[in-house]
Homo-oligomer: A and B are copies of this chain.
Amino acid sequence: MATVKVETDVVIERLMEVFRSVGYDGASMAQLADATGLQKASLYHRFPGGKQEMAMAVLDQVSEWNQRQLVDVLYSSAPPKTRLITALRSISQLYDGGRLACILRALSHGTAADLFRQPIAAIFTKWVDAFAHLAQDLGFDQQTSRHLGGSTLVRIQGSLILAQTLNQPTLFEQALHDIETDFLIN
């Protein structure tokens, strides 16, 4: 039982890598099978809903990461500045310093747009709210805090696009630094 569970987590990790690099429509079952080391029929055994269920499993894992590495951290009782630094460091690792695309963005296009908009929006909202909460703890008023929360995700998503298209990961790190400045300005 335990062994099976672990293996499935690994499978989901591999699926995520494929979806992230080629998108939902660009990922074929053959490619997904190849990446996981399973045959197509075996993938269908684990995910009877096919590609859609696989992507949903990936999104569940992303949602868990978001909860543990961002939400839990940013709502914790540690000093606000410590929470900020910790969260930004996790984000930097998640995207490998700007070299990896965001899986949520990869699952936001084409056929996937209609299928996964709601779960992705839920993750985005939690993310924004968590950073807005931190801003309030840092003394910003409610309106400014909301604005800062949104601006954080805007900067990260936007900088990831530029970093990868222009092949300049530095742009992502710069954005993280800009975010830090936004929060610690006073």
Contacts and interface: CB of A to CB of B under 8 A. Distances in A.
Interface stretch (A56-64, A75-83, A104-112): A104-112
Copy tally for this chain in the complex stands at 2
A124 interface: yes
A20 B107 CA distance: 15
Size range of the interface on A? 35 or more
Given A124-B162, A153-B158, A159-B154, A109 B178 contact: no
Interface string A165-186: 1110001001100100000000
Q: Which 8 A-B pairs have the closest CB atoms?
A: A158-B158, A26-B110, A154-B158, A23-B110, A25-B25, A157-B158, A23-B109, A25-B26
Interface of A: 22-23, 25-26, 104-106, 108-111, 113, 117, 120-121, 124-125, 147, 150-151, 153-159, 161-162, 164-167, 171, 174-175, 178
